[in-house]
Amino acid sequence: MGIGWNGKSLREMLDEYEAKSESGYYYGIEELKLREDDFFKYERFYYRLLNATLEARERVKFACASPGTRELGELLFLVHAPEGEAAAISLGLMAHVTVVENVIKTIIRENYEETVGIRDGDIFVDNDPYTGGAHPADSRLIVPVFHEGELICWVGSISHELEIGGGTPGSFNPFAVESFTCGERISVERVGEKNQFYPWFIRRLRRNSRAPDLWILDERAKLSGCLIIKERIKEIIEEFGVDYFKQALRELIEEGRRDMEARIKRQLVPGKYRIPHFCPVLYKGEGVPPHADRDYIIHLPLEIEITPEAKIIFSYEGASRWGWHSFNMYPGALESALWLSLIETLLYDGRVTSGGKLQTELIRPIGSITNPDYPYAGDGIPWVILTGEISMSSLAIYLAQFARGYIEECIEIGANWASLEGGGITRFGTSFGFTNFEFSACAQGARPIEDGLVAAAAPWMPETDTGNAEIWEIVLNTASYLYRGVIRNSCGHGKFIGGPAWGSLWVSWKPTVFTIVASGSFSGMISYQPFGLMGGYPAPSWSFFIIRNPEIFEKISNGEIYPGIVELFEHTKNKGLDEEIEVRKGFANSRMAQDRSIFGIIYGGGVGYGDPIERDPEKVAEDVNNGIITEEVAKNVYGVVLEYDESKGVYSVNPDETVEMRSKIRENRKKRGRPVKEWWMEERKKIKEGKLPPYAIEMYKECIEFSEKFRDEFTKFWQISEKDIMG
């Protein structure tokens, strides 16, 4: 007899679910009987279950050690049906709705019920992307919930750990070209029983992380949260009865599917939407193994088809092969990104369950970067690409909503992020490691009705914050903040401007060894975007910089330089000291810091919406007065001529000169413009004559060899033969 419902094994329940769901309904449920019979009882049941996940998250945040979970709430709790589908999901890391489900299904498919045993009080942990997660930094803890000997459901939790070991300190390991150096890997393991962790598991974390206390206490806090939910489930079963609990769990998941179906029909225009995506890999000279020591381009085109039957099909035909880098994506990674884009564009006020997945299909060519056929491909930081996928898919949804007349909902989810990590040995001889998660407060893109916000959006977590600087200083251990602030001229320009970028500045204090690692989205180079919308400008890329000359810090201490990022750059430029600053833009890099080294990062801005010369001139003047843009940008980009009132210390609009300036900008555009056909002919000539950049030729050759569909579409569009590109 199995431990599942009514004596079935979990494998029997999973097989039954998959067979019945072929009908298009979750588990074949065509009627929501409980909802129809007593709507208020049904709603009360749902909110009791949902509130259990919310209660657990809010309570255990204060027991978590890492600022990522405590300060920013990088934490998620879920309740799953026995076969794995999620029925209730807390706030938090909404990108990871599907990943616990994947782990549960691995437990079922690999027959843990018989070979390992699944008992009340058992604890399972997994952070292996190969079994369904996004990357190793996301640790998933799962416990079974039993009622009278029957596994009634599962409770799961996820958190992002700030230091997981690996070749470089932190949690992302951007230079790990195989999984072996991506950090500590726990692959669907039972790590405790009777609601207690095994001692070997705690010892294992302590021996494999530069900041083990953060990880250990996070796991204990997640376990505490899961136990809180278990107790609330017992109370719910006592109040509603076990039969009601079982049926309601399934109806909630099916209701989530119906909600998704209804929103697709109501908000989106059917059709195919294509978004390009190119990602540079700049590993040459960065100390990676010889077979990975080169620069090249990843091709990752996205086609979204919205069918009249209210299904959304995501296709990655034409994607590059998996490669020797840390950005490969196993199944859970893409699922996380695409599901998150749907939550933020369609289900932002809906009932989020796993049921909505039945309205989607994901096409990932085997052997591509989206579905590696090598089980040990580097997977430390696929998010540098995945956030682009979130942005791309949200842009496609935005276009489909816009075509239907939904304006206020339209937004391109921000993907212009960067991360600062590091670690080493303190002056006291102790190890340390960190990932500064203040980057969760990304700049928000503009919308058709309003400007974007600064430091107010994160694609992976709707609730966003920078965290307290003092807390991050404790974690960094050997560095202190000098500055946090907004960067001028860093917004995506437009009729409505994107949120401006902001940055942070630190100084290091007497480390024995201190390695700093910066990485982030591939924006601002040859990459996908962030696109501007409807004539709006894209946003500037992120950048990292370091100054190792201690004399610069002495000048800050003496008051000769204001400790701001812009002021620091201006001082070094004016004094002819440009060489003192090493700047790296838009790709991962690793650098050593010394005593009193100054280092900083500028996070990316948000995209603009609409033509900049259509922006209200008074708003442009306000932007200048608020330090968002300069007078020069106001004139040259927005066509707004300003006058400075020295007595009041503010700028005001000169309306006549503004009208004239905007007229000149329009005339200059007409002179620069040319027919698309003319541009197409020039580009086609470059292809036929082999005059594309070498990186581009190499990329297209690989994709043409790998994908017949891409080959046919590419050669047809450019009216060339395969030989023209392959040589």
Residues 569 and 705 in one domain: no
CB burial class (10 A; 0-12, 13-18, 19+) of residue 597? buried
What is the predicted pLDDT for the residue at 336? 84
Is 533 a domain residue? yes
Residue 628 lies in a domain: yes
Q: Is residue 361 part of a domain?
A: no
d(CA 634, CA 307) in angstroms, rounded, equals: 44
Per-residue pLDDT, 334:
87
Choose the final residue of a domain: 672, 690, 712.
672
More confident of the two residues 581 and 659: 659
Please state the three-class secondary structure of 457-491 as a single string: ECCCCCCCCCCCHHHHHHHHCCEEEEEEEECCCCC
Q: How far is CA 431 from CA 69, 207, 472, 475, in A?
A: 21, 11, 16, 11
Same domain, 617 and 588: no
Range of the domain at 693: 676-726
- How many whole angstroms separate alpha carbon 299 and alpha carbon 703? 8
Count up the domains in the chain and report the number: 4
- Mean pLDDT within 457-482: 83
CA 542 vs CA 176, 450, 584, 665: distances in Å: 21, 24, 9, 29
The mean-pLDDT minimum among 85-99, 296-310, 349-363, 582-596 falls in: 582-596
Whether 712 and 577 share a structural domain: no
Ramachandran category for residue 701: left, alpha or beta (phi over 0 → left; psi -120 to 50 → alpha): alpha
Q: Which amino acid is at 509?
A: W
Q: Please check whether residues 103 and 22 belong to one and the same domain.
A: yes
Is residue 464 predicted with pLDDT exceeding 80? no
Helix (H) or strand (E) holding 282: strand 278-282
Is the pLDDT score of 437 beyond 90? Answer: no
Higher per-residue confidence, 418 vs 105: 105
Judge if 523 and 630 occupy the same domain.
Answer: no
Q: How far apart are the C-alpha atoms of 356 and 255, rounded to whole Å?
A: 9
Please check whether residue 320 is in contact with residue 271, taking contact to mean a CB–CB distance below 8 angstroms. Answer: no
Neighbours of 89 (CB within 10 A): 26
Q: How confident is the model at residue 348 (pLDDT cuts 50, 70, 90)?
A: confident
- The answer to whether residues 174 and 282 touch, using CB atoms and an 8 Å cutoff, is no
Residues 383-404 pLDDT 10s: 888 887 888 888 889 899 999 9
Confidence of residue 77 (pLDDT cuts 50, 70, 90): very high
Q: Between the CA of residue 14 and those of 10, 29, 102, 103, 425, what are the distances in Å?
A: 6, 15, 12, 13, 48
Band of pLDDT at residue 526, cut at 50, 70 and 90: very low
User: Across the chain, how many H-helices and E-strands are there?
Assistant: 21, 24
165 and 244 in a single domain? The answer is yes
Side chain identity, residue 80: H
Q: Are 634 and 623 in contact (CB under 8 A)?
A: yes
Residue % of the chain over a pLDDT of 90:
62
Statement to judge: residues 602 and 642 lie in one domain: no
Report if residue 658 sits inside a domain.
Answer: yes
pLDDT at 558: 87
pLDDT(549) > 90 = no
Query: Do residue 121 and residue 71 come from a single domain?
Result: yes
Those residues with Cβ within 8 angstroms of residue 286's Cβ, 6 or more apart along the chain or in another chain: 175, 293, 588, 589, 590
Whether 609 has a pLDDT exceeding 50, the answer reads yes
| Mean pLDDT, rounded, of the chain | 90
CA dist 545 to 438, 505, 563, 573, 616, Å? 17, 9, 14, 14, 35
Q: Does 554 lie in the same domain as 623?
A: no
Residue entry with tokens 């390992």: 116
What percent of the chain clears pLDDT 70, i.e. is strictly above it?
97
H or E segment at 219?
helix 212-240
Give residue 475's pLDDT.
84
Higher pLDDT, 114 or 604: 114
pLDDT at 465 over 90: no
- φ/ψ of residue 424, rounded to 5: 155, -135
* Domain presence at residue 38: yes
Residue 329: which H helix or E strand, with range? none
> Alpha helix (H) ranges present in 588-646?
617-625, 631-636
Q: Where are the alpha helices (DSSP H) in 23-161?
A: 33-37, 39-60, 67-70, 99-109, 112-115
Residue 576 has pLDDT above 70, yes or no: no
CA angle 417, 616, 392 (to 5 degrees): 30
**DSSP assignment of 112-142:** HHHHT---TT-EEEE--GGGT-S-TTEEEEE
Confidence (pLDDT) at 524 = 46
CB 466 within 8 A of CB 440: yes
| Per-residue model confidence as pLDDT tens digits over 624-670 | 999 999 999 999 999 999 999 999 899 999 999 999 999 999 999 99
**What's the sign of the alpha-carbon dihedral 177, 181, 183, 187?**
positive
Q: What distance in Å separates the CA atoms of residue 126 and residue 138, rounded to the nearest whole number? A: 9
Q: 414: pLDDT confidence band, cut at 50, 70 and 90?
A: low
Does residue 85 fall inside a structural domain?
yes
Opening angle at CA 54, ends 251 and 352, nearest 5:
35
pLDDT at 579 over 70: no
| pLDDT score at 365 | 94
Domain boundary among 224, 256, 288: 256
Answer yes or no: is pLDDT of 416 > 80.
Answer: no
For the stretch 56-68, pLDDT in tens is 999 998 887 788 8
Q: Which helix (H) or strand (E) holds 544?
A: strand 543-547
> Of 56-70, 412-426, 605-619, which range is least confident?
412-426
**Does 525 score more than 60 pLDDT?**
no
Same domain, 433 and 485: yes
Residue 683 has pLDDT above 50, yes or no: yes
Dump pLDDT digits (tens) for 238-293.
999 999 999 999 999 999 999 999 999 999 999 999 988 888 888 888 889 999 99
Q: Are residues 171 and 45 in the same domain?
A: yes
Which of 672, 688, 709 is the last residue in one of the domains?
A: 672
Write down the pLDDT at residue 457: 74
Please identify which residue in the block is written with the tokens 């009278």. Answer: 148
- DSSP per-residue letters across 645-706: ETTTTEEEE-HHHHHHHHHHHHHHHHHH---HHHHHHHHHHHHHTT-S-HHHHHHHHHHHHH
Task: Supply the pLDDT for residue 332.
Answer: 86
In a domain, 377, yes or no: no
454 inside domain:
yes
Q: How far is CA 382 from the centre of its chain?
A: 9
DSSP 609: B
Separation of first and last alpha carbons in the chain: 63
Q: Which residue has the tokens 């089980």?
A: 375
> Residues 575, 628: one domain?
no
- pLDDT of residue 327 exceeding 90, the answer is yes
Query: Which two structure tokens, joined as six digits, stand for 22?
Result: 């072929």
> CB within 8 A of 526, min separation 6: which ones?
278, 280, 297
